Structure 1
Amino acid sequence: MIVKDLAIIGGGPAGMSAAIEGVANGLSVVLVENARDLGGKVLKEKASYINGNHGENNETKTRNELHRSFNRIKDDITLLKNSEVWNVSPDNIIDVFSAQRPGQPSNSIKAKKLLIATGAVDRITPIPGWQLPGVFTIGGLNTFIKRGAIPGKRFVVGGTGPLQVALTYNLVKAGARVAAMIDVNSMFGMAPVGIQLLTKGGLDKLSLGIKYLLRIRKERIPVYYSHAVTEVIGDDCVKHVIVSKVDSNWQRIAGTDIQLDANIVALGYNLIPAVDIARLLGCETSFNQNIGQWQVNHSEYMETSRNGIFVAGDGASVKGYDAAILEGRIAAIEVARQLGRVGGQKADQLTKQDRKKAKNARYVGDAMSKTAMIKTGIFDSVTDETIVCRCEEVTYRDIRTAVANGARDLNDLKRRTRLGMGNCQGTFCGQVANELMWKAARDNWPRSRFTVRQPLRPVPIGC
């Protein structure tokens, strides 16, 4: 068993920052990351576009500084990459399966303190045809592009939010052919975010967003505001997409459909926090009605409702990599304070400015999430034949039948239909299952969630 002061789950910006600060303050640290590279989706060390490194100045600078600092301390920590956390017990014993050691027993880690830095997942809604090969989440396709791979010839990017704009820009920079960018919000839908960026110290991000949009316009890429991708057409792969004008509730307006040729479609409505490990450990979470997502409750020092369990980055609430780095640092210094490695007054002084900046970043993050909060009109495109759970091929008809037979919460729906039982464990279908049940019943009842159980991820029986 590996025994450490601090165990960090997640090797993105928050986790890396916490490891750096933990070592600086005398903590023994283990960091577990499920990918082969550290840095999360945006700040991976080996990120490069197919035609060379076109990363923007702030992003590139932040990435380089973060990895430089981490490389100085990586020999002082235990680093487990390509490793999946499949269970965490209430006494902070972490079970880890390593893809690099197939057939071998899993590692166990015992830590005095635990930091959950698991990041976020793409927010997405089902539409007819979204199960076809060639349909990506925005984050998933962006990972391909940053790896230098262009997996298609003609792209359509649909959804809303800053990640949609960033992906379209990255495709252009990589030399890909973008048929259209489809934004479900109006042209002024991002205005609240711009105001928050201006007032909360995010002028650099606002300038970058404007730069992206200007480049997209310069390339004469069609941008359809107040439109949505409402159907993907193809037999064994994507061939066309249907784009429809929508009203302010994102409801499809009859007679406005147009068809675009494409073989790759990326869809997404910003991000939502990955809160499953926090929930497994009994940390308090709350549903933010203003932005339509679950968030992990925490103190200004990033400690959750469970003593000794911390959270940082987009896994707490979505606000981007700059804030994640700050929160990781704040959490590590608080761990050092609680373990007597740094005095209370010094710890407060070390994190004073970071706590203020992180608070401002949360305002901006919430504003971004609010613009992408799913509106019920979007589900108008869902037909009886639409597959909702792609892992288990559960259709909306299956959901409607279950509701007609009395299903009123997600666990009951899961038992009746197998929705959420596949490899992703309800990561995507679980986002909108409540709304689809309400649509089927033409009624609302309290929002429910799947019960989180171990194993958190599919692992070999022998591990």
Structure 2
Amino acid sequence: MTLAPDLLILGAGPAGSRAALRAQACGLAVVLVDENADAGGQVWRARPPGFELRGPGMNPDAAAGDALRAELRAQGVVCRFDHKVWNVGTDLRTDLVGPQGLVSLAPRALLVATGTTERVVPFPGWTLPGVIGLAGATILLKSQGMVPGERTVVAGNGPLLLAVAAAILDAGGQVQAVIDLASRWDWLRTAPALVGRPDLVRQGLRWQSQLRRARVPVHRRHAIRRIDARADALEVHIGAVDALGRAQGEATRMLSTSAVAIGNGLSPSTDVTRLLRAEHDYRPELGGWIARTDADGRSSLPGLYVAGDGAGIAGAAAAGWHGELAALACVHDLGALDAPAYWAARGQLQAQWRKAARFGRAMAGLMALKPGAVESIDAQTVVCRCEDVCRADIDAAVREGACTMNQVKAWTRCGMGPCQGRTCGDVAAQLVAAQVGRREDVGYFRGRAPLRPVSLSAMAGDYTYADIPIPKAAPL
């Protein structure tokens, strides 16, 4: 079945949902697609049926997500949840697989609002059971009120550190320690960006107060060196790092814990734009590689728009405004809004976006990949967990002549697994660039279909062996 809406939006987080509401209000026929069961994305993740969560740490996000989902229903936006996008063609034809099988849509315009992917800088033991990402921990906490373990060490860099630690305490869990790559001064330098966001100042102060009351030790300018599995616990070894995240000396402390939640920031999701060969720029302060767009989300390809953190990390609040900006540009480009009305609405949205993005961009700086942390990865540490490729394999490929990410992929299979390089790509590229030159020269993994693993049964549908046409035998 092929449908032809005016605008197809991929991703129902803050950016995609606000874009859908704005575009539909302007008269476009909109279809909103997400692989989750409801709108909200990772920030405003919907709770499964039957879950009623309580706790001061999660209520603001839950309330905002519920309000967004209610607005989508009230406005009658056509939504296809539980649908995975597995291919997008150069004519913007988009192929999905969902509960009822395959669906194809041929929109006049495509808006990509697929958010970000969590980054973890590998270390020995990062693939052990009980070690999860900070984003994974937020999913457990927000959607089902589950803590990662009886005792949890929270580690990495960026604002999710405090958010996850406070949420674990709210849910009745125990936080053994917070291991922060950043120094106190790194955090203080973001203070000017808090002007105009007293709500976030209060939230941050509440999180810090919770940690102090619970007597949670915070180890600043430290990182996890390795994790060892024991019969009944995980042994977490930590040590000091310098401003670039480079290990300084030997590990100095060992913590025995049930679980570890770790994250080293976020990378913009560029699967679709790389697949379509749109132009990209490397912007480390915005999360890494991003599709090249104008201020309103127009990409280098006609009819293709990018909105939200996928166009450069700026936070959930800014993502919503950016989604509306991109939707407005699409409405204007498709001829559904005249120039005076477009420019008047655009000016208001731009002002709102700039105000929200100021804080988000400061937080993105705290989450930026630290080259020293990558430099400190041990030779035998697994970088690509899908294909079991360690740092030594990548280094050897570079020494033998591989100088771009696609060459490294062909020589080592790094990035060929189910995640298609979303987990390992950023770190692997930094390892290659350390020997070859700039990240811009190293490039990124080429996007390929299927964008997500798709089963053969889903692709075949009701088609069986008996349906294969068998030609008649040729006459002798």
TM-score by length of 2: 0.89
Displacement of 1:244 after TM fit?
Answer: 0.5
- 3-state SS, counterpart of residue 188 of structure 1: helix
Q: In structure 2, do the counterparts of structure 1 residues 413 and 316 end up closer, same or farther at CA, with 3 Å as the change threshold?
A: same
1:64 aligns with 2:49: no
- Structure 1 gaps of 5+ residues are none
- 3-state SS, counterpart of residue 212 of structure 2: helix
Displacement of 1:249 after TM fit?
Answer: 2.2
Matched with 1:306 is 301
Instruction: State the one-letter code of the partner of 1:149.
Output: M
Matched with 2:93 is 93
Deviations along 1:195-214, one digit per CA (max 9) or x if unpaired, are: 1121xx32322221122112
Instruction: State the one-letter code of the partner of 2:390.
Output: T
Displacement of 1:444 after TM fit?
Answer: 6.1
Query: In 1, are the aligned partners of 2:286 and 2:314 still within 8 Å (CA)?
Result: no
- 3-state SS, counterpart of residue 278 of structure 1: helix
Instruction: State the one-letter code of the partner of 2:210.
Output: R
Question: What does 1:114-193 correspond to in 2, within 5 Å?
Answer: 114-146=110-142, 147-193=144-190
Displacement of 1:388 after TM fit?
Answer: 0.8
Matched with 2:256 is 261
Displacement of 1:252 after TM fit?
Answer: 1.6
Question: What does 1:371-450 correspond to in 2, within 5 Å?
Answer: 371-439=366-434, 441=435, 446-450=441-445
Of 341-350 and 83-92, the range deviating more from structure 2: 341-350
Displacement of 1:13 after TM fit?
Answer: 1.1
Q: Aligned partners of 1:398 and 1:238: how far apart in 2?
A: 30
Displacement of 1:184 after TM fit?
Answer: 0.7
Of 40-49 and 250-259, the range deviating more from structure 2: 40-49
Q: Aligned partners of 1:191 and 1:69: how far apart in 2?
A: 37
Question: What does 1:3-18 correspond to in 2, within 5 Å?
Answer: 3-18=4-19
Displacement of 1:72 after TM fit?
Answer: 0.4
Question: What does 1:13-52 correspond to in 2, within 5 Å?
Answer: 13-46=14-47, 52=54
Q: In structure 2, do the counterparts of structure 1 residues 236 and 38 end up closer, same or farther at CA, with 3 Å as the change threshold?
A: farther
Identity among equivalent positions (%) equals 33
Query: In 2, are the aligned partners of 1:50 and 1:145 still within 8 Å (CA)?
Result: no
Q: Aligned partners of 1:236 and 1:348: how far apart in 2?
A: 64
Q: CA RMSD in A?
A: 2.2
Instruction: State the one-letter code of the partner of 2:162.
Output: V
Of 108-117 and 335-344, the range deviating more from structure 2: 335-344
Instruction: State the one-letter code of the partner of 2:259.
Output: I
Displacement of 1:53 after TM fit?
Answer: 4.3
Q: Aligned partners of 2:63 and 2:287: how far apart in 1?
A: 33
Q: Aligned partners of 2:309 and 2:171: how far apart in 1?
A: 27
- 3-state SS, counterpart of residue 449 of structure 2: coil
Of 178-187 and 231-240, the range deviating more from structure 2: 231-240
Query: In 2, are the aligned partners of 1:232 and 1:238 still within 8 Å (CA)?
Result: no
Q: In structure 2, do the counterparts of structure 1 residues 15 and 368 end up closer, same or farther at CA, with 3 Å as the change threshold?
A: same
Displacement of 1:24 after TM fit?
Answer: 1.4
Q: Aligned partners of 1:326 and 1:224: how far apart in 2?
A: 36
Query: In 2, are the aligned partners of 1:297 and 1:304 still within 8 Å (CA)?
Result: yes
Of 157-166 and 295-304, the range deviating more from structure 2: 295-304
Of 120-129 and 328-337, the range deviating more from structure 2: 328-337
Of 311-320 and 49-58, the range deviating more from structure 2: 49-58
Query: In 1, are the aligned partners of 2:264 and 2:369 still within 8 Å (CA)?
Result: yes
- Structure 2 gaps of 5+ residues are 460-476
Q: In structure 2, do the counterparts of structure 1 residues 444 and 238 end up closer, same or farther at CA, with 3 Å as the change threshold?
A: farther
Q: Aligned partners of 2:433 and 2:343: how far apart in 1?
A: 47
Deviations along 1:110-155, one digit per CA (max 9) or x if unpaired, are: 1011110101111221111111111111111110111222241110
Q: Aligned partners of 1:256 and 1:398: how far apart in 2?
A: 25
Instruction: State the one-letter code of the partner of 2:167.
Output: N
Query: In 1, are the aligned partners of 2:315 and 2:357 still within 8 Å (CA)?
Result: no
Displacement of 1:383 after TM fit?
Answer: 1.8
Q: Aligned partners of 2:185 and 2:51: how far apart in 1?
A: 30
TM-score by length of 1: 0.92
Q: In structure 2, do the counterparts of structure 1 residues 115 and 425 end up closer, same or farther at CA, with 3 Å as the change threshold?
A: same
Matched with 2:202 is 207
Displacement of 1:260 after TM fit?
Answer: 0.4
- 3-state SS, counterpart of residue 184 of structure 2: coil
Displacement of 1:351 after TM fit?
Answer: 3.0
Of 267-276 and 358-367, the range deviating more from structure 2: 358-367
Deviations along 1:215-268, one digit per CA (max 9) or x if unpaired, are: 111211110001111211116896111111112222222145211011211111
Q: Aligned partners of 1:306 and 1:267: how far apart in 2?
A: 36
Q: How many residues align?
A: 454
Deviations along 1:172-205, one digit per CA (max 9) or x if unpaired, are: 101111110000111121223221121xx32322
- 3-state SS, counterpart of residue 107 of structure 2: strand
